[in-house]
A = this chain, B = another copy of it.
């Protein structure tokens, strides 16, 4: 739901592009025209445009007009650009989905875990392991570690539904930044045990460190995907973000 003015303008333009009111390789109205259309300042218009640029909807070039470079395509399976959750991605693709909690237990970080997760040795953590089923196939293994001091009173019940709903709405934690890495690794014993890997011996892995508004990394997460149900999207732009 758009709240601020620039966000409404962004959402409106995004929608018009997606529904081909502004089609691929056509131009948007100029910034000056947009200020009239939306009754706003040029600053606000440019703020909205910069979001469209970052997300690969348009590109701008000094002197020329604002060009639409969005195409619908993307027949993808599992897109992980932005912050789409497992559930959202499954819904978007029209798949059935289910989650099974293998375990949820309190542990204390040893050196090995500390190195991998960027927590400190001795930190008390919730260790959560979940299997994600898509169309009844075990395709994703989710490993999560949460700081017990932040994610208080986590239960299997919550893990089965949505941990993030709980953190944001119940505990009022503000999730600010997530630093993620995408790698490909050989399948380990755990992967082979819980997932249906068929003839793949590798996995696509997205690991992430999540920070709250206190600058505390309170979560480390590792999503291990069977390769054919995985896609990471990204738009790289020249060098600017606001204008």
Residues in A lying within 8 Å of B, measured CB to CB: 7, 25, 47, 50-51, 53-54, 56, 59, 61, 64, 67-69, 71, 73, 76, 82-83, 118, 174-186, 199-204, 208, 211, 213, 215, 225, 227-228, 230-239, 241-243
A176: chain B residues at CB < 8 Å are 59, 61, 237-238
Q: Which residue of B lies closest to A178 (CB)?
A: B236
A200: chain B residues at CB < 8 Å are 186, 201-202
Give this chain's copy count: 2
A231 contacts B177, C-beta separation under 8 Å: no
B230 contacts A61, C-beta separation under 8 Å: no
Question: A142 → chain B, closest Cβ, in Å?
Answer: 17
Task: Give the docked Cα–Cα distance between A91 and B215 (Å).
Answer: 32
A186, A225, A236 interface centre (most CB from chain B within 10 Å)? A236
B227 contacts A185, C-beta separation under 8 Å: yes
B231 contacts A181, C-beta separation under 8 Å: yes
Q: Among B59, B225, B236, point to the contact of A83 (Cβ < 8 A).
A: B236
What are 12 A-B contacts with C-beta separation under 8 Å?
A50-B241, A51-B241, A54-B241, A59-B211, A59-B213, A69-B179, A69-B211, A76-B181, A178-B236, A180-B234, A201-B201, A242-B243
B202 contacts A227, C-beta separation under 8 Å: yes
Task: Give the docked Cα–Cα distance between A59 and B177 (Å).
Answer: 7
Question: A157 → chain B, closest Cβ, in Å?
Answer: 27
A180: chain B residues at CB < 8 Å are 233-236
A7: chain B residues at CB < 8 Å are 239
Q: Which residue of B lies closest to A200 (CB)?
A: B202
Question: A41 → chain B, closest Cβ, in Å?
Answer: 12
A177 contacts B51, C-beta separation under 8 Å: no
Q: Among B183, B213, B228, B235, point to the contact of A231 (Cβ < 8 A).
A: B183
B50 contacts A242, C-beta separation under 8 Å: yes
